[in-house]
Structure 1
Amino acid sequence: MRKFGLLLVMLFGLVTPAPAAPDAPSAQPSTITPWGINGYLTKNERVAGGDNVAQLAQTMASANADWSLEELPWAEIEPNNGTFRTTYDSRIKTVADANLGIIGMLLTTPAWARESSCAGNNNYWCPPSDPAQYAEFAAWMVERYDGDGVSDAPGSPRIAAWQIWNEPNFVATWSSINNNEALRRRRYGEILVAAYTAIKQADPTAIVVAGGVYVFDGFSDGFDFLNGTNGVFRQIPEAKTSFDVLGIHPYMPTIAPDAIGTFSSVTLEGRLLNTRNWLTNDIGRPSAPIWITEIGWCTSPGSTSCPVVSAENQARYLIRSFVIAQQLGVQHINWLQLEDAFNGSHPFSGSELLNDLNTPEPEKQAYTAFQTMAGLLNEATPLGIRTGVHTHNYVANSNNTGGVYAYRYSRGNTEIDVLWTPGANTTIQFPLTAGKQWIFRTRNNQSFSPTINGTTASIVLTNDPIFIVQKIPVSLNVQNSLSLLAEVSSGEARADIPLSNGGSENALVWNISNASAGLTVTPSSGSVVGTANLTIKAQVGSLSAGTYSYQFTVNGDGVASRTVQVSLRVVDQLQPIYLPLTRK
């Protein structure tokens, strides 16, 4: 790991870099999942407004989110060249302590490092004059928050992924340099290359995310910024390989993600297909992951940038956009945002999933939709369309005609389908798998009961997504009988037998009862997913040669009990014919 001989300045004085305090590390996720929210839990506005950040972080985790995207402003952390503030340490640890993974955005430029000819209205959005200085800041941040226990922040919270700026294609957040658009683009390429190299030197396992750029946007398109005339990659070819993930913002706040009558390439599906084609054909990065690092729709107050939709539609669009993105191979999606960190001053205020926590009903419908979706689809693998049910057809250079959207997932032996139609209500015949438990859920996790004929469910689809979960039911599986063999005066006879839940993804909660005298079963209770062993012991003691009968009962929550008959044969001496049983 890279070490720094730089001055470390805390809010109230000087401190020498040292190993992290012996706080127990948090159980942050070790893999990237789709389930992200722009928590913005570390922002100064949170501190100034007295927000209960720990409660917000726990509420975010309770929504089944795994990852929080956080702004980490260079302008605040390194206000003077080589002088680093550690005031974000406790904020980052609070996020990590909620067992949330963290994606850090490195953005804004301190006054001492800004391009002097920057023409931006908000000077902290000016590009840095020296990419090496931005890279030095990035390396310091990565070293402090790589979670390896060396020169870490107290508690070793880990930031696993680093986004290089935010929306650099937009001149309001990556300002003009001397009114020279080519130079503005070139500078982003320079900091991308410099930061990528510095981050990988500090933490080779860190993920570097490029930009968070708009895609198919009418006034500031990210593809043009990156690879159009005088684009980033045209001027700095090395930048094409100086990121691990392409971050995009496919905002479409005025329409549904799958709006009927919308030109196909403007739908979310079209934007994502075009992004993958662009990465493959234009950039030569066919396997580079795509992350949506911002997407959202606004309820009140909204703005001209984000017109108001109903709370119901916000929840519907959330599920539909996440599912479409996953099924098209997007690795990770972040909803903007958890709770309004900008206190109504942001163009997308209203996109948040939570109202103020002090209100009687802080959870918006979209919060419950996210919680339901991420809970039901947790660790599930997208499998594509449900043949025979899915009727939607994407046609390039044409208007979207809607149809039935029916997408499949699997998690072990469990099948999960998500279905809706953006158009008129449609009745479908859905094939069910015999022998499995069938569960039907709405977007707010309420059960519903369709008409079922044999293994076919008749369901009226609407624009509200539904979930169909088909899983192997929990069962109690244990053998009916067991034979033990022992010598006279051998102490005890024992054997292990398997107990399983029948292959269900749900646990079998069980206990032992009615064990005969002289017989013990351990453990005497438990919970099992898959298979566990029961150890059966019969006391021989002073028993003479002969055959003895015992029994015990295994009980399970919600399933029928099973009684196991145990036969103990005691002999004067074990003979080779009894092998491979061994003497005790």
Structure 2
Amino acid sequence: MPSKKSTLSVLLLILCIFLFYLNLSLYEQEGVQEELEPTYWESPFGLHGIEKDYKAMTDIGIRWYRLGIHPGPTFRQKIRQFDERYAEICGSGLNILENFMLHGWRKLLGNAEYAELVRFIVERYDADGINDAPKINGTEPKILCWEIGNEPNIEGKGDSCPPEEYARFLKFIYPVIKRACPQCKVLFAGLVPFTHDEYLDIVLQNGGGDYFDIVSLHYYGNATGDYAYGVKMINEVKAVMAKYGINKPIWITETGTYSGSVNGIFQSEEEQAADLVKRYVVLLSAGAEKVFWAWGLYEGFGGDGNQYFDQTGLIYDGRGDYDKGFGVEKRAYYAYGLMTEKLEGFTNIEEVHLREKNVFLFRFDKRNGYV
């Protein structure tokens, strides 16, 4: 007859085996769940604009959405509106890059009330379980990337800010964000050509290098080869950072071109679509981590329908001489979808050198092959 001690040992062994297979089963289920519901955090495919048709965005593989806010004294009164919008965006499968606009930055710099409002906002949407926004329709609003300003190197614009003062602003607001959300990423304001490298250089001269995590760049142009200028910008920014011993990620948070006619220069839908793919391919190969098409999913920038930014969208808005009707998808819309279908999840990019002049070939390695 077995002793009580040996019986207990057998029972413990059976329990250990049961727990092992139970944990294995749960692990496999979690793995399946992650595979079915990926966050696409590493995806490079983004869009900037003022949109509400989030499904039309995710249908073509857009995974990041860039916004812009200018929080003021009435922000807390409208907080429910922001909760609902952010929850709807996150629930659709999009990651959010939010931008703290710097209109009136002189009044904001060193302002304790503004710093507290920024802290409140970042804490509310960091999804860390402390003072978070409530779930809405089962989705928790979540924002882990914050940009500080927009195109500060354009003189006379709302966010225009001398580089020395922008360095001061970064030193002021970066610690506020990081104390509220250490895991959040803070982006340097999107810089435009042609003073991007000079502006960044002065900010770094003034000690701003420790007060941002990612550099943001903007550029547009025509569909006649201007896509390549982004590579030049990236290389120039890398050179400036290297000068100060800095190596930080680069995101292109605005880029695009139009279809239609601007100042007598006509571009077809086919030319816009081809340029879109070229921009993403060359920018990613040059080292950009993410690229955001702009302006917008739908056309329309407040003009008569015939201005540059009225025609850079991927879906017609029903206005303009070359518009085909509200809601009609342009060829660039389908080009974006095909591009993400082929390239999402790539692990490496290699430029294949060819002998033909002005012909470039890029190989995107994926886990199950290459494109």
Q: TM-score, normalised by structure 1?
A: 0.51
Contact persistence 1:162–1:209 (CA under 8 A): yes
- The amino acid of 2:78's aligned partner reads R
Q: 1:353 to 1:297 in 2, by over 3 A?
A: same
Q: What SS does the corresponding residue of 2:119 show, helix, strand or coil?
A: helix
Cα distance in 1 for residues equivalent to 2:117 and 2:47: 25
| Correspondent of 1:139 among 106, 114, 119 | 119
| Correspondent of 2:277 among 307, 319, 322 | 319
RMSD, aligned α-carbons: 2.7
| Correspondent of 1:371 among 337, 340, 347 | 337
1:188 aligns with 2:182: no
1:88 aligns with 2:68: no
Match of 2:67 in 1: 70
Match of 2:260 in 1: 300
Q: CA deviation at 1:290?
A: 0.5
Larger Rg over CA atoms: 1
| Correspondent of 2:210 among 236, 241, 259 | 241
1:201 aligns with 2:160: no
1:404 aligns with 2:366: no
Pairing 1:88-237 to 2, within 5 Å after superposition: 88-109=82-103, 115=106, 128-130=108-110, 132-155=112-135, 156-174=140-158, 184-215=162-193, 217=194, 221-227=195-201, 231-234=202-205, 236-237=206-207
Contact persistence 2:110–2:172 (CA under 8 A): no
Match of 2:39 in 1: 29
Unaligned stretches of 5+ residues in structure 1: 1-26, 42-52, 116-126, 260-266, 393-401, 417-584
Contact persistence 2:221–2:227 (CA under 8 A): no
Q: What SS does the corresponding residue of 2:152 show, helix, strand or coil?
A: coil
Contact persistence 2:100–2:146 (CA under 8 A): yes
Task: Give the number of equivalent residue pairs.
Answer: 322
Q: What SS does the corresponding residue of 2:67 show, helix, strand or coil?
A: strand
Q: CA deviation at 1:133?
A: 4.5
Q: What SS does the corresponding residue of 1:37 show, helix, strand or coil?
A: strand
Q: CA deviation at 1:61?
A: 0.4
Q: CA deviation at 1:30?
A: 5.7
Contact persistence 2:44–2:291 (CA under 8 A): yes
Q: CA deviation at 1:247?
A: 0.3
- The amino acid of 1:348's aligned partner reads F
Match of 1:270 in 2: 232
Cα distance in 2 for residues equivalent to 1:79 and 1:28: 36
Which protein has the bigger strand share?
1
Q: 1:164 to 1:302 in 2, by over 3 A?
A: farther
- The amino acid of 1:321's aligned partner reads R
Contact persistence 1:162–1:207 (CA under 8 A): yes
Contact persistence 1:69–1:104 (CA under 8 A): yes
Task: Considering Cα pairs closer than 8 Å and 6+ residues apart, tell me whether 1 or 2 has the greater RCO.
Answer: 2
Q: CA deviation at 1:212?
A: 0.5
Q: 1:137 to 1:275 in 2, by over 3 A?
A: same
Which protein has the bigger helix share?
2
Match of 1:469 in 2: none
Cα distance in 2 for residues equivalent to 1:240 and 1:131: 22
Moved over 6 A (4+): none
Pairing 1:540-551 to 2, within 5 Å after superposition: none
Identical positions, percent: 25
1:60 aligns with 2:44: no
Contact persistence 1:36–1:333 (CA under 8 A): yes
Q: 1:311 to 1:321 in 2, by over 3 A?
A: same
1:413 aligns with 2:362: no
Match of 2:350 in 1: 384
Q: CA deviation at 1:29?
A: 2.1
Q: CA deviation at 1:114?
A: 5.8
Q: What SS does the corresponding residue of 1:94 show, helix, strand or coil?
A: helix
Q: Mean Cα displacement is larger for which, 241-250 or 334-343?
A: 334-343
Contact persistence 2:151–2:159 (CA under 8 A): no
Match of 2:8 in 1: none
Q: CA deviation at 1:191?
A: 1.7
Contact persistence 1:167–1:174 (CA under 8 A): no
| CA-to-aligned-CA distance 1:326-371 (integer Å, 9 cap, x gap) | 1112110000021236343775221111113994652111111111
Q: 1:302 to 1:208 in 2, by over 3 A?
A: farther
| CA-to-aligned-CA distance 1:491-523 (integer Å, 9 cap, x gap) | xxxxxxxxxxxxxxxxxxxxxxxxxxxxxxxxx
- The amino acid of 1:372's aligned partner reads L
Unaligned stretches of 5+ residues in structure 2: 1-36, 319-323
Cα distance in 2 for residues equivalent to 1:328 and 1:170: 25
Q: TM-score, normalised by structure 2?
A: 0.78
| CA-to-aligned-CA distance 1:290-343 (integer Å, 9 cap, x gap) | 100000102236469xx6522111111110010011111211000002123634
